[in-house]
Amino acid sequence: MINVTKRDRQIAFPAVVSILMLLFCACVPQGQMPTSGGWSGDSAYPVIEKFEAYPPKVTEGGTSTLHWRTRNAISVTISGIGEVPTSGSREVTIGKEGTYVLTAAGRDGRTVSHEKNIGMYTIAGNIPKPPIIEKFEAHPPGAMAGDTITLRWRTRNALSAAISGIGNVPLNGERAVAPGITYVLTVTGYGGQRITAERGTTVYQPQVIGENPDPPLQLKDDKPAIIPGEIVRPNRPIRVIPIRALPAPMLQSPPSGKRFSHYPRRTTLSWSAVQGAAAYTVEIDCYGCCRANRWCTDIGRTHKMVKSIRSTTYTFNFVGAQPGRWRVWAVDQNGNPGGKSAWWTFSYTR
């Protein structure tokens, strides 16, 4: 029988640990040691680089925007939302529960998750004041094509502001923009409350009214003062006045930001009628269809455009479980397009 003294155990234990560590390192290829964020050197292991919420604290019923970025992931899901792009952002409305879990899956099936809790103000707490849009105007309300108009806005109790077609803007300011578009100002408060205001603008088209009559010929000795062989070309100025193009239709349904979970993804769009419209054109955009994490129109492409619609509704099957957006404009009997509506968004979870 071998007697092992306490001193022998003290010498042997570190040696055993060193041998086990050497065996472990030999089994793991170089550059693939595990880290807290995944296997940093393994290109197949998914990594969550960012998962944040802004604002991080809201009132119940307020909105916050989740922002995430992953690496080496082939699919990403968020609890309560479903499948989402591998990197992107999504606005959420906070009810009684404000906890979201993002799970990223790699090519070999390995997954990694991260949880984000969006806090809520309590009734007894310091609840922030709701945001207010004090002014949102267009000067002048319309202009000729190629000219610009000026949007002016002023807000109060706001955390952030954005205008459709422009992006994030200062809380108070002005911006020169093109006419013929309906602009939507969206303001978010410190508690996540969100309000919007819409301002339509008009593009004027030139219209020929007619030609001035020929000026009378000057007479000399009761005869026209015309040199033989010379062609008389009297000056005929053309009277041109701007005419108002058709206004943009008012979108009705589905409401912007609507999330659907039904399949097939049959979607019906509707908008208000425009007086003088002979037809309507609908444009449908898709997020991630033409390029990852981008709208098709952002890279100069068109996902779907339908012309010569004679009614104020259009039904179609959307392409996939991802975000989409749509807009519409009227066309008069001469084929002239009117102002385009703002983009309204929707999304499918499956």
Long-range pairs, 74-82, Cβ under 8 A, ≥24: 74/46, 74/105, 74/106, 74/107, 75/104, 75/105, 76/102, 76/103, 76/104, 76/105, 77/102, 77/103, 78/102, 78/103, 79/103, 81/259, 81/349, 82/261, 82/321, 82/349, 82/350
State how far the Cα of 78 lies from the Cα of 89, in Å rounded to an integer: 11
Whole-number pLDDT of residue 177? 87
Give the sign of the dihedral formed by CA 141, CA 146, CA 147, CA 151. positive
Q: What is the pLDDT of residue 152?
A: 92
What is the structure's pLDDT at 30?
45
**Rounded CA separation 135/152 (Å):** 7
Closest CA to 46 of 89, 87, 90, 100: 87
**How high is the pLDDT of residue 309?**
95
How far apart (Å, rounded) are the C-alpha atoms in residues 22 and 243? 83
Beta pairing, strands 194-200 & 182-189: antiparallel
Ordered per-residue pLDDT tens for the chain, 350 residues: 555 555 555 555 566 556 666 555 555 444 444 444 444 445 578 999 999 988 888 877 778 889 999 999 999 999 888 899 999 988 888 776 678 999 999 988 889 999 988 877 665 556 778 889 989 988 888 887 767 889 999 999 888 899 988 888 999 999 988 888 889 999 988 878 888 888 888 777 665 555 555 555 455 455 554 444 444 445 555 555 555 677 788 888 998 888 898 999 999 999 988 888 899 999 999 998 998 888 898 888 899 999 999 999 999 999 999 899 999 999 988 888 888 888 888 999 88
| DSSP H or E segment with residue 6 | helix 6-27
**Which pLDDT score, from 0 to 100, does residue 107 have?**
87
Cα–Cα dist 242/142, whole Å: 11
Q: Shortest CA distance to 106 belongs to which of 166, 172, 169, 39?
A: 39
pTM: 0.41
